[in-house]
Structure 1
Amino acid sequence: MRPCRVRKPTRIGECGRNSIDTAIEFVIQPMRAPRAGTAIQVVQCIYRVLSCDGMQTRLHKVLRVEGLTGASYVLWLEGPFSAEIAPGQFAMLRTGSDWPVLLPRPFSYFDVSAAGTAASFFGKAIGPGTRALAAVRVGDEVSVSGPLGGGFPAPADGEPEPVCIAGGVGLAPFLLWTKQRATTVLYGGANREAIVAMESFPGQTTFHVATDDGSLGFHGNVLELYRSLVAAGEVDQRAPVYCCGPDPMMEAVAADCAERGVACRVSLETYMACGYGVCNGCSVAVEPAERFGGKPWARCCIHGPVFDAAELKW
């Protein structure tokens, strides 16, 4: 199969849905041919579309890697980055060389400097991809495609400030949010070692911590902590909930909110291949709606990763 060539945009702003559709056609066309290329060539073809403004693939130098407890880490990269990245948006990351797997890995933006001179990503070394990113050294290069997806929306006028509920590395999307407004964050983990990165948050953040074994903070899970704070009047029972963490945790929080008539938005931690709607590898079951084209599924990377919890079929 001949290399796919996706036309670069001729002007700022030409990127977007039209160029994504063009990229899809460039990918599908050779796949229709009798002698289609390999999966690797198709994936490489997909990523060429990220040369357009607003969704760029760049190599960024590593500034530092902050090792945390429990195999967690914060990876800092040198800019430029957009200073307009919204809380909840993500990027696809891979090391510049010696990448041990085929596809990059999705990471929420953790922090972005005011001038966009640096950005950080909060992760945990679990598989070969996340371990490779944790092992980079100062001066190494990391490939970043982003920003991608949609983030958490600002509350409507007169609406209470959202309560953020996080589990594990699901804390990642909320740092940018708390830098914009005073926020209550409920953070849960299995034990003391799982509660990390709180020191990165601004002083205007109010943290409540829950651990399953009671080694730090509330003894129980983060949903039980949330219910106890609502019952005690320490959290506004009308406040919308923004949630990110393991799927069972988010499903339980969403069910509790639905039962009480509280709005809930969740940021899904879904496996992704391309990051911008071409491969359908991150499809999730949803209630059919116009924004999903009437289909019973949505692409997490472009329709999310933040969803109204009521849209999802858990």
Structure 2
Amino acid sequence: MVVRTNPGVVIPRNTGWSMLFKEPDAEFQVSAFTRYEPTNDAEVPRALHLVVDLAAASLDDAVSEALGNTGGLTTMMAFVGNSHVDSPELHVAYDVTGDDAEHEYVQTYRPPVDELPQLGAHLDLTLFEAVHDRLLASKHSTRLGMALVQYNEALRSLRPAGDVTAAGHLFMAVEALVDVVKKREMQATGFTSDEELAAHYGIDTTEMYKARNEITGHLRRTVIFHGDDKTHRALKKASDGFEHGFLPIVEVRKSAEGGHLPAAFHHVRRTICELLDLPADLVEHLAGIRACSELRSRDRSFPLQEGAGCGRPVA
């Protein structure tokens, strides 16, 4: 079957990506490519297509499995390109089993694409495969996958007046990561309890429920935000104020704006790369890819440069 999504990431023309996945009770093949459309003297990248071959009890089951399996892949692609990618949608599915002359199939209508090229990032397939392999090998893959989903949703909100929702999703990514950071810190220090870790950080352990909150805050500030207290405070205030409704939206927006959001994206992105245990050169490469979006911050904090992001210059 074929599923497709927006060209948030663009695979180079005449190339593609393919992999055979083997699981304990299933096996499936996924291939990905970008469809290019000739226009005058150029070729415009359109939808990102993924072709899935798998076995299932019914066509409906096959469609559900295909959408579930490709959703994780496009989320990883979005992170690598630093450009939002929508969840894949079914284009066509058909049954190829048996020797009958007729086979069951389903095809869904998709509105025609806009004639204007859409914003997208060139996907480095080498980087994507590195992230894919490290995520699958990580014992923290579930939490890291949750962080990638929230990061992709934050990228979706990078548009005029989208700072509040971007900050909220980005802080949810932080909350998914802090559990991984804590486990790694305890492994590195050899501590086996929250009491030991709190004492190590100089936190009062008289009331452990408070101490645990302080441990979480300490790890967010020092590890995930790399000691950038100002950005951590601003993002937490915006997220908490919006989620719990104790701040007026004007105050929430003030906390999300002011140059804090680009810094927050950079910290979270770098932390994910570090937690994936990627080689140092790949961490630097991935961390240096700027967000590819329609956001134009006042301080030009999201330059869109050739070879680093979507390849479109800042207007």
Q: Which has the higher contact order (CA 8 A, sep 6+)?
A: 2
Q: TM-score range by the shorter chain?
A: under 0.3
Which is higher, the Rg of structure 1 or of structure 2? 2
TM-score by length of 2: 0.25
TM-score by length of 1: 0.25
Higher-helix-fraction structure: 2
Higher-strand-fraction structure: 1
